[in-house]
Structure 1
């Protein structure tokens, strides 16, 4: 199509397709079967999308030979065709042929098959020509009373779009849809009707919500989402309404739908900054992260939880939920775990740091059952978290240091090296714990498996053992680790070898006897 005309549908056109001439297409429309007509109509749509003009004679062939068909595939293609084909002439006036099309779609709106009615109503949402829509309005209104919900919900969408674009065609649409909503039972139909009132007549939407606010938790999730959106908009436009609807939002935090709980939590935090609201909000987010299986969703919700902490007034409330936040570590994704550890470390206090340490100790033992790569990264993150917690809360260092020293015997050399860096820092920053740290390091020295880790540990002991007692203890430990020195036996053999050589030198030399072959 040309750039001046609107386009509502994108269709992939095969690069190797061979587009027939108009004469060939007309012949297929006139003499072909439904299958031939479907193929010809597809190629005609490709031709239009390529920007080629369609003659009025071609339009008449489509009207004469395709519109009367009852084949559902052909009818669906016709909807796409009428959406893409130019409907006005060069002067901007509606083509005369479109009157015949309008009459055909009035018949489809009264068709006994609900698929035909519903798909036609969806097509009408895309029409931008009020001359085509005006004759169809009585039939669209009748579809609101159809027995099938598929037809009714698409009728609401059609009325919504037409009212938004051409209000003069159906000026009583809000009242019509409000009455429809009162008597409707289908969740999808109620959702579409409520969404229309939300955008065109919020007063009617609020009247409906006020009448059924106690039953909100029993609604379907698609309707609950629209209700949350309405409450958000109304309360921001008129803050005095917050007290009226905040209880409803609290109730929706218990919804069975994760999407509803997420949106309700996001709305609640904008309506109230009370500690009870913050706690309910954070609890909802944590529950979503723990139960949701998609790691991308976990990260999105976790970011919302982190944003919640940015307000200093919320930090005290969140500190009480540190152990609940640590439940997120059960998730398999490393990025989720890393963010969780960082958040917990920012929130931990002297009241619950010991509980956090014990929890992380259990996580260390659990990580042994995971894949090598993930387990190594996770262990390093745990070590860093415990390290930071020790520097931040020196009082719990005696509890954390034995946990960290267990990593020295681990196969993960990076984690063990980081533990030694922590030990060196702790000796500098926590002088009262210096002796106990060195003693614990000496006890774990013999269990180290990696040579580089062993040398680094030995260097720390050699550098910071500065008392006679600690130096002697270290030397005994080194001697014990080396065992019986092999150098003693070597010297004895060397001495014995020297004595035998001297005897051989003093003894008379035997004459050499040579034998010649005769």
Structure 2
């Protein structure tokens, strides 16, 4: 037995012996000397005489071990016996905490404690009554629910407010155990009466919170009398309860403008409160009440600017960020209203990184023709900020402001390009990234950006995103830059060392530039297509094949697809859409503005039940199921889904030895003139040969899998028993045992997902599934791994319907090759 387990077992046994001694004699056992007798030294001080003090010390020790995750459930019976009878409130609290912790593990023994809890629910001390009721409702044992109903109903009418508060929350706990009980005992109606008539404000607040969670339609609670009653008693509530009440009131819709003003007048003083949560809750009420009255809504925005600015500047970093995130939402809705307050969004020396980022976003939103140059001057100062993140964000903000102003942005573009002279790696990289975006939005500024690019040493840029931007500029606007083909050719020499995103951009740029300057780019295109076709990355490999086949199929179509000018755009997909902004506005004073996402993206539905997949016992294999597909894992680069025997290596894209350069004065060469007159001559320049016989048939005969298939557990089990076509094979390898942990991840990388898996050494079983790319056929797989036979044996059964027998054979062959490549 491990030493730590022995130690834990010894501690539990020691505490059990001490509890038994306290139960029997009221004192701890006296320590013994080496001969079995009492030591006699310090005896009067070593063992306390007061039983209550002794029990407190023991209970504290037990709770201490509980907090460090030592299982103390074995002392359940002794704890209950040792604590009764007692009037010590401290002992009761510790006992109730212990019982609630282990009630679900020991439901039968918990019944022994129910009598004690029920008895204490009738104690003369309201503190004891409330504590006992709270503990009784927190047992979370459905079988014991009948024992708490009577004390709960009695407590709802208790004379003491503390007990009533606890009882109201107890109704919610009962509801989560059995909703039907709440309906049968009419507890919901009782809560509504307490909500309307109880004299204690906290009881009312608790009732509101519980009712919103248990009624079928919470909107029915929002009535004029209820809202007015809550507002009239608002100052009686705690700050937390006031926030809950205001959240409730924000959903109320007044009958007319006069009622709207009456409510806002009542809440006016809450805008000056020191609690930022209360101020934001009040602002939400104001905004939602006036949303249908535009002129009043604008006045509300003007009224709330001051409190928001004050909280953003005078609170701690956490509150400042929260307030700034909500303020950003309002600035984006009404930028003109905040345009004169742009200096409020300047970064301060003590602002946290996150607050600075939000402020930069707000500066971008409020910039217009009247203040843009002042804002850009301030942003230029941030470009040299010690924080690389802020430096990048400020450069991005300058570019965004220039794109928003459009035709009047000449001076701003020059300020942006001046960043290239700073000789700071991250500044230069971010400037290139922003330049690429700006050239898409402002075609009038293209020549200015291209000229700036010509004077820079682009090969020294290391950032992958910046290199991707440079490659895009060269491909889209290389006809305006004389050195473009040679810059790309120089970058292509290290094609295999580039990031995937840069490789993909280089393929597209080379193809685009080839149609604009064919004599200079034919060697470049040949090189990148050949290197791309040999790439282990699936995307790079596929794009190379696509461009090759497009060029081979129809050169004129390829020219239209690849050689066209890039479209001009005014917005980018990364920008928040109007629908999302409206959703965030509705969820004001929540986490949504902080995450810039609706609550449904990060808060699970209360009724959502996570389904755990079971291991399908289709044959006799024992083991524990691992719920669903395994997540994560690296892409399986060696397996090629489009391995159609149509590689560029087979097609022999030969590198031409002809070197043609443009004249120094930029005049077209005779060969270029011929190419423009005869588009088919472009393909001849690549020296592309016909694929070997049968090479193209693989496109139709190959297997193309859906990379993200979907199937639920019930459908899998149903299909397994009904599918008729079947293929089987076996793979042996001494590496099977070592490869088992990542098997699901590796198969997922090639489009084969794991429904369930389980087993114990030496037998494991996996159930997997895949679908054709067009979803016309589904394939189910049973894989049995035996790690004892010759080092390891994988037995595989693949199933599909009879009409896809040929596809099933291709799938089985593909599965076998993928599996073999992984385990060998």
TM-score by length of 2: 0.37
Using the TM superposition, name which of 120-129 and 72-81 deviates more. Answer: 120-129
CA distance in 2 between partners of 1:351 and 1:389 (Å): 12
Residue pair 1:228, 1:264 contacting (<8 A) in 2 also: yes
Question: Is the aligned partner of 1:228 residue 2:241?
Answer: no
Following TM superposition, by how much is the alpha carbon of 1:76 offset from its aligned partner in structure 2, in angstroms? 0.9
* Greater Rg over alpha carbons, structure: 1
CA change 1:98–1:176 in 2 (3 A) is farther
CA change 1:401–1:225 in 2 (3 A) is same
- Aligned-residue RMSD, C-alpha: 5.5
Question: Is the aligned partner of 1:106 residue 2:121?
Answer: yes
CA distance in 1 between partners of 2:190 and 2:214 (Å): 9
CA distance in 2 between partners of 1:396 and 1:104 (Å): 79
Alignment of 1:85-96 (within 5 A): 85-86=102-103, 95=111
**How many pairs are equivalent?**
389
Partner of 2:386: 373
Partner of 1:29: 23
Residue pair 1:29, 1:36 contacting (<8 A) in 2 also: no
CA distance in 2 between partners of 1:177 and 1:219 (Å): 15
Task: Give the SS at the match of 2:147.
Answer: helix
Residue pair 1:157, 1:192 contacting (<8 A) in 2 also: yes
CA distance in 2 between partners of 1:390 and 1:205 (Å): 47
Partner of 1:350: 369
Following TM superposition, by how much is the alpha carbon of 1:80 offset from its aligned partner in structure 2, in angstroms? 1.8
Following TM superposition, by how much is the alpha carbon of 1:259 offset from its aligned partner in structure 2, in angstroms? 1.3
Residue pair 1:178, 1:193 contacting (<8 A) in 2 also: yes
Structure 1: runs of 5+ lacking an equivalent = 1-13, 434-518
CA distance in 1 between partners of 2:210 and 2:276 (Å): 24
Residue pair 2:336, 2:366 contacting (<8 A) in 1 also: yes
Following TM superposition, by how much is the alpha carbon of 1:63 offset from its aligned partner in structure 2, in angstroms? 4.7
CA change 1:380–1:401 in 2 (3 A) is same
Following TM superposition, by how much is the alpha carbon of 1:79 offset from its aligned partner in structure 2, in angstroms? 0.6
Partner of 1:470: none
CA deviation string 1:6-34 (max 9, x = no partner):
xxxxxxxx969711265543222332222
Question: Is the aligned partner of 1:50 residue 2:66?
Answer: no
Alignment of 1:162-177 (within 5 A): 162=174, 165=178, 166-167=181-182, 168=184, 171=187, 173-177=190-194
Alignment of 1:367-446 (within 5 A): 373-374=386-387, 385=397, 389=401, 392=405
Partner of 1:277: 297
Task: Give the SS at the match of 1:69.
Answer: coil
- Judging by fraction of residues, say which structure has more strand: 2
Following TM superposition, by how much is the alpha carbon of 1:333 offset from its aligned partner in structure 2, in angstroms? 2.4
Question: Is the aligned partner of 1:122 residue 2:139?
Answer: no
CA distance in 1 between partners of 2:175 and 2:252 (Å): 22
Question: Is the aligned partner of 1:38 residue 2:56?
Answer: yes
CA distance in 1 between partners of 2:394 and 2:106 (Å): 71
Following TM superposition, by how much is the alpha carbon of 1:224 offset from its aligned partner in structure 2, in angstroms? 2.4
CA change 1:52–1:330 in 2 (3 A) is closer
TM-score by length of 1: 0.55
Residue pair 1:163, 1:173 contacting (<8 A) in 2 also: no
Alignment of 1:359-370 (within 5 A): 360=378, 364=381
Structure 2: runs of 5+ lacking an equivalent = 1-6, 28-50, 449-824
Residue pair 1:295, 1:333 contacting (<8 A) in 2 also: yes
Question: Is the aligned partner of 1:293 residue 2:312?
Answer: no
Task: Give the SS at the match of 2:344.
Answer: helix
CA change 1:218–1:98 in 2 (3 A) is closer
Task: Give the SS at the match of 2:386.
Answer: helix
Following TM superposition, by how much is the alpha carbon of 1:209 offset from its aligned partner in structure 2, in angstroms? 2.2
Task: Give the SS at the match of 2:341.
Answer: helix
- Judging by fraction of residues, say which structure has more helix: 1
Task: Give the SS at the match of 2:368.
Answer: coil
Partner of 1:496: none
Using the TM superposition, name which of 75-84 and 339-348 deviates more. Answer: 339-348
CA change 1:324–1:377 in 2 (3 A) is same
Question: Is the aligned partner of 1:191 residue 2:205?
Answer: yes
CA change 1:93–1:395 in 2 (3 A) is closer
CA change 1:83–1:381 in 2 (3 A) is closer
